[in-house]
């Protein structure tokens, strides 16, 4: 059983049986960065001031198999009883190919250990796509999530429950909406941007593979059109899929500069976000489960984004301008208006800052999380 940095090791003193304890259970770690691990660490820190004790445990199924991993998890949870075991669910964290049936083995073992079961489902809609294999994967994921919902006391979802396709409206009483927070803390005052530098657009992450090629094409087309209207434009792209080795950016002549920065640490990422004028989000539809978009909102940025079926409140409360997927012309028009209309830009920035404080700040998320679990303490 792997324990995260900052979590209690098995050799340390375990909380007494009179104290309620929370264990965030993770599946397979992603490399080179893992947003769910960062989410768990941020949630654990935010729960601290609320008087809770939170550990992070990794199930370790990739090294020893499902049965041994489940057995070790049950043993660790018994040492912490009474406790909540809160499973952090993405489908690839509990399966190498997107069929997360092994999660059910681990959840049942945790329940038999005496722990109360809850889950945070980070991708509640399942895998997209219309191919046969995509539909089979999505059906298996929905089956696992329905089963998990039946045996867990609470299931937290990162989009509004009405957007969740696998749950019946009459049985969503224990389905709790919990938006994601920003894994990049605001390190730099966003008001300190130098207004004399070129208009800058920021992109946090590009999908790897063929979809990334189309996303780069769409972004460079927007930049080309924006440069014709406002002059010099700079694009700062960071995060997964943005390194030059991950895929070539189309060449643009004229007044456009592209800075492909790759993966940055928290301070570096915060600095880039704080110095930008607008965020461009074209990795599918924007929603309350998109941590990269929430990072832009946390830094008070206007966000120009695609909409889809999971786009809704409260992400729409932020300074978000929505366009239909693939509509490059509307993307460019929105970016140009933000660049040329300072009052409109400031209005969007204020909406993003207010939405962050009301819905996406970690203390707000932690309070919802803790108050929900406290109902059955």
Structure-derived torsion over alpha carbons of residues 360, 308, 217, 196, reported in degrees to the nearest 10: -40
Mind giving me the DSSP string for 29-84?
PPSS--HHHHHHHHHHHHHGGGT--EEEEE--HHHH-HHHHHHHHHHHHHHT-SEE
Mean pLDDT by 10 residues, the chain (377 residues): 37 40 89 83 91 86 86 88 90 90 93 93 88 92 92 93 78 84 76 63 83 82 86 88 70 80 90 94 92 95 93 95 92 93 95 96 95 72
How confident is the model at residue 189, as a pLDDT?
56
Tell me the pTM.
0.86
How confident is the model at residue 190, as a pLDDT?
45
How confident is the model at residue 314, as a pLDDT?
95
Handedness of CA 247, 248, 252, 255 (dihedral sign): positive
How confident is the model at residue 178, as a pLDDT?
95
All domains of the chain, ordered by start, with CATH? Answer: 2-181+361-374 (3.40.50.2000), 190-360 (3.40.50.2000)
């Amino acid at each position: 059983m792997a324990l995260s940095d900052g979590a209690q090791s098995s050799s340390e003193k375990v909380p007494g049986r009179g104290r309620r304890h929370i264990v965030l259970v993770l599946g397979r770690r992603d490399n080179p960065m893992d947003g769910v691990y960062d989410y768990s660490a941020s949630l654990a820190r935010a729960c601290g001031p609320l008087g809770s004790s939170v550990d992070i445990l990794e199930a370790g199924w990739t090294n020893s198999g499902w049965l041994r991993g489940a057995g070790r998890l049950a043993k660790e949870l018994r040492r912490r009883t009474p406790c909540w075991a809160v499973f952090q669910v993405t489908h690839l964290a509990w399966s190498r190919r997107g069929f997360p049936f092994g999660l059910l083995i681990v959840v049942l073992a945790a329940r038999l250990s005496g722990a109360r079961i809850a889950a945070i489902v980070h991708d509640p809609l399942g895998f997209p796509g219309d191919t046969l294999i995509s539909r089979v994967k999505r059906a298996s994921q929905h089956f696992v999530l329905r089963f998990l919902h039946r045996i867990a006391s609470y299931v937290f979802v990162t989009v509004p429950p009405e957007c969740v396709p696998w749950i019946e409206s009459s049985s969503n009483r224990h389905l709790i909406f919990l938006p994601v927070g920003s894994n990049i803390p605001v390190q730099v005052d966003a008001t300190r941007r130098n207004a004399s530098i070129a208009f800058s657009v920021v992109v946090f992450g590009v999908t790897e593979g063929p979809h990334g090629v189309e996303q780069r094409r769409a972004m460079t087309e927007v930049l080309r059109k924006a440069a014709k209207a406002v002059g010099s434009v700079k694009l700062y792209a960071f995060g997964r899929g943005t390194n030059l080795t991950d895929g070539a950016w189309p060449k643009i002549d004229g007044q456009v500069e592209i800075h492909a920065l790759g993966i940055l640490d928290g301070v570096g990422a915060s600095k880039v976000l704080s110095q930008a004028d607008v965020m461009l989000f074209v990795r599918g539809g924007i929603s309350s489960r998109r941590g990269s978009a929430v990072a832009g909102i946390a830094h008070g940025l206007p966000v120009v984004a695609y909409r889809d079926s999971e786009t809704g409140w409260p992400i729409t409360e932020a300074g978000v301008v929505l366009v239909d997927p693939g509509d490059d012309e509307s993307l460019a028009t929105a970016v140009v208006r933000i660049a040329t209309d300072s009052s409109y830009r400031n209005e969007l920035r204020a909406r993003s800052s207010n939405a962050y404080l009301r819905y996406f700040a970690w203390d707000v998320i932690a309070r919802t999380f803790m108050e929900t679990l406290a109902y059955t303490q």
